[in-house]
Amino acid sequence: MNSASRSYTSEGRGESATPVKSPVSSYLHRTADTETTVSGLRPASGVGGGSGAQLTFGTPGALSNAAQRLGKVAEKFSTFYTDLEHERQSRRQSEHSKYSALTETISRLESNLELEIRRRTEADKNLQVQLNSELKSMYERFSAQSRETQKSLKTSVDALSRSFSELNSGLREEREQRGVQMDQLAQRLMLKIDETKASIEDERVSRLEREAQTLKRVGEDIFRLQERIETEKSNREAALHSLQSELNEMAGGRNLSDEKFQALILGELATLKNRMQVEREERISEDEQIVLAINDYTKALQDGLRIVSAG
């Protein structure tokens, strides 16, 4: 530790800087005292009536000039130490101000980041709730439509069975009434009934094939819809993960300005809104296609039943 660092007290204790005499200044003071002492020395008179000559150890004028020069040098050193201490205190105050400003900026950025993370988390929760609600509504709608279709199909089959039962009853009564005279007519009627049964069987087979194709098409549509939903969910999660990574990178890089950070966040929000709008439009279109497919299926069933009833 040099003499400059020992010339002041600690700032942490709240004490003012007090200059201490340097070694040069102490040496000058000791030299001046020595000059005064030496210049006052005089030897005693000579023994036996000597001449009484004076013996001095130095010239007072020369020593005074040297002491003055050394005093000026000491004063300059003292001034230098004082200025150095003042400059050091000023530098400390400046660095403390910069550190306080930097700490305040970091705290503000961390607060903004925390608010943005909470806002993003709430948006994700709302999106998940909305998706679950839409999926549940779609499932309930499909279930209701399927129940209605099964109910109408069962009613039609029951009506057809009753018609066949009534027809067979009428034919048996007719055969009992006509007897042997109407054997040929009965045979023709039986042939016609067999033909009718064959056509009904053919119609039943074709109807079952159409139903299978329709159910297959509806199943494929539902499967594609589920795949698209899963794909969109994966894309959303990837986008959110990427956004989280970017937010973390921005939190680490403190040299970015607040304007760029806000612009990036607004851009990401706009992108997510656009994706949600596109997804909603696609789902509406897919719902319309599914409804049209079910309507076509219902119409085909009605046409088949109408043909069977007419036969």
Report yes or no on 301 lying in a domain. yes
What does the pLDDT read at residue 25?
46
What does the pLDDT read at residue 162?
87
Number of domains the chain contains:
1
Gap between the Cα atoms of 152 and 301, Å rounded: 10
For 249-283, give the DSSP string. Answer: HHHH-TTS-HHHHHHHHHHHHHHHHHHHHHHHHHH
Report yes or no on 125 lying in a domain. no
Report yes or no on 191 lying in a domain. yes
What does the pLDDT read at residue 309?
67
In this predicted model, what pLDDT tens digit does every residue of 239-294 receive, in sequence order?
Answer: 777 777 776 676 665 555 666 667 777 777 778 778 878 877 887 787 788 778 77
Report yes or no on 85 lying in a domain. no
Higher pLDDT, 56 or 214: 214
For 36-50, 80-94, 176-190, which range has the lowest pLDDT when averaged over its residues? 36-50
Evaluate whether 211 touches 153 at the Cβ level (below 8 Å).
Answer: no
In this predicted model, what pLDDT tens digit does every residue of 122-153 receive, in sequence order?
Answer: 988 999 998 898 889 888 988 888 888 888 88
Evaluate whether 60 touches 35 at the Cβ level (below 8 Å).
Answer: yes
Report the candidate in 245, 227, 246 with the shortest Cα–Cα distance to residue 286: 227
For 50-64, 91-105, 219-233, 269-283, which range has the lowest pLDDT when averaged over its residues? 50-64
Report yes or no on 23 lying in a domain. no
In this predicted model, what pLDDT tens digit does every residue of 161-206 receive, in sequence order?
Answer: 888 888 888 777 776 776 667 667 767 777 888 888 888 888 878 8
Report yes or no on 293 lying in a domain. yes
Gap between the Cα atoms of 57 and 40, Å rounded: 10
What does the pLDDT read at residue 291?
76
The rounded mean pLDDT for the chain is: 72
What does the pLDDT read at residue 109?
92
Helix (H) or strand (E) holding 248: helix 183-252
Range of the domain at 283: 143-310
Query: Is the confidence at residue 7, as pLDDT, over 50?
Result: no
Q: Confidence class of residue 48 from pLDDT cuts 50, 70 and 90? A: very low
What does the pLDDT read at residue 286?
78
What does the pLDDT read at residue 165?
85
Report yes or no on 217 lying in a domain. yes
Higher pLDDT, 7 or 33: 33
pTM of the model: 0.24
What does the pLDDT read at residue 117?
92
Report the candidate in 18, 22, 17 with the shortest Cα–Cα distance to residue 2: 22
Gap between the Cα atoms of 108 and 104, Å rounded: 6
Query: Is the confidence at residue 108, as pLDDT, over 60?
Result: yes
Report yes or no on 154 lying in a domain. yes
Higher pLDDT, 63 or 89: 89
Residue indicated by tokens 């499909």: 142
Q: What separation in angstroms does the CA of 61 have from each of 36, 55, 56, 64, 75?
A: 11, 16, 13, 5, 21
Higher pLDDT, 10 or 255: 255
Higher pLDDT, 60 or 235: 235
